[in-house]
């Protein structure tokens, strides 16, 4: 089975990593950890350009994404499972779908930030877009609220 795990360093992404790590995947499955570097557009170009060029910023973002995917790969590593990493540039909504199609993934795993209403409308939802357009199955992992704990059943 080919499992594409999309990560971005968020709590939602950590929940997706934990979910992949805890599931019993078929023997000889491959998990490909993907991080997407979005195009950098500074809000105040004069300040940024004074200290770093766009190319230096892009290189640093790519290095950060490489570290992120390696760390996630180490977390999901398990016997009889192959783990790979991939870093792409672009819009995460399309880059995740393109990576899944290019690799012929069986499953895409993404975390959900849990945005609703206006925030979802303004910021968009990568998970929602992936679910709507993927050619394979998609597992959306929601982070568990720190306030929400499973109820405990006591024996009588």
Neighbours of 106 (CB within 10 A): 15
Q: Which residue has the higher pLDDT, 33 or 151?
A: 33
Burial of 127 (0-12, 13-18, 19+ CB in 10 A): buried
pTM of the entire structure?
0.82
Neighbours of 117 (CB within 10 A): 7
Domains of the chain from N-terminus onward: 2-142 (3.40.50.620)
Give percent of the chain with pLDDT exceeding 90. 61
pLDDT tens string 53-107: 778 888 899 999 999 999 999 999 999 999 999 999 999 999 999 999 999 999 9
> CA torsion angle for 54, 57, 62, 65 (degrees, to 10)?
-140
Please state, in angstroms and rounded to a whole number, the distance separating the CA atoms of residues 4 and 59: 24
Give percent of the chain with pLDDT exceeding 70. 76
């Amino acid at each position: 089975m080919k499992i594409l795990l999309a990560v971005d360093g968020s709590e939602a992404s950590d929940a997706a990593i934990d979910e992949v790590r805890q599931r019993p995947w078929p023997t000889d499955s491959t998990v490909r950890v993907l991080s997407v570097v979005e195009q950098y557009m500074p809000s105040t170009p004069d300040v940024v350009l004074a200290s770093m060029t766009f190319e230096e910023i892009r290189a640093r973002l790519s290095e950060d994404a490489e570290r992120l995917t390696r760390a996630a790969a180490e977390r999901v590593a398990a016997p009889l499972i192959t783990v790979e990493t991939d870093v792409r540039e672009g819009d995460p909504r399309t880059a995740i779908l393109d990576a899944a199609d290019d690799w012929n993934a069986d499953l895409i795993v993404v975390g959900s930030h849990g945005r609703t209403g206006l925030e979802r409308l303004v910021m968009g939802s990568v998970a929602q877009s992936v679910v709507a357009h993927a050619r394979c199955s998609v597992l959306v992992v929601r982070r568990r609220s720190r306030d929400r704990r499973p109820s405990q059943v006591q024996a009588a």
